[in-house]
Structure 1
């Protein structure tokens, strides 16, 4: 029951956010360092977040049943196609689902950036995700710089500009 309550809270908040699509990124004043994690992707490969230090990383928390998550996924793929050659990484962390749900989803929404599985919702809890989708932009020192709650058009030039500027910071 303890694990079900956070997932239910996320579900309720996500339903409330379903109609809201934001445009920009919220700058986080305190710039907290992110908790480390190790998760597997849909192919069974392990990813440890601390191994990504030195890179700017976009981390998207989502679920296949979430309408705004589904709506923003094509724009995330388009953004990834622009950013991957620049050394900016993108990870999608599915909250509370298994490989079968992801495979079914990607049949209709193909993506080629890593999709990680947070089946027990431990990472989303540690990162203080309150609704889906929630996306963080992490700088090369492992700090949360930006947050976006709700769907976005991730390939929008103004969003990409802010993300790219993080690579220029000494």
Structure 2
């Protein structure tokens, strides 16, 4: 798991990681090139990518990743790796 920070400055990103004690990687996309390539239009936006690098799920808005619904969704996506259409 990793996050991509869009149009953020590195110093602000470091401050954010420290404040919320985030240990997983956050990639910096200062010019929104990754966001544009994947058609991201809302924040936060979540992509589930399988071992073959295919997008197998996509979600919009904030989520409670510890909820039973989200855990079930993740388990389902891990076991059924069918790519979704981009766009």
* Alpha-carbon distance between aligned partners in 1 of 2:51 and 2:24, rounded to the nearest angstrom: 19
Gaps of 5+ in 2: 82-87
Match for residue 2 of structure 2 among 88, 91, 96: 91
Aligned to 2:30: 119
CA distance in 2 between partners of 1:104 and 1:131 (Å): 23
Deviation at 1:159, TM superposition (A): 1.1
Q: Which runs of 5+ in 1 are unaligned?
A: 1-89
Aligned length: 81
Structure with the higher fraction of residues in helix conformation:
1
- Greater relative contact order (Cα 8 A, min sep 6): structure 1 or 2? 1
Partner of 2:68: 157
Q: Deviations over 1:103-143 (max 9, x none)?
A: 11122211111110011110010010011111111122222
Aligned partner of 1:142 among 34, 50, 53: 53
Detail structure 1 runs of 4+ shifted over 4 Å in the superposition. Answer: none
> Which of these two proteins has the greater Rg computed from alpha carbons?
1
Q: Over aligned residues, Cα RMSD in angstroms?
A: 1.6
TM-score of the superposed pair, with normalisation by structure 1: 0.44
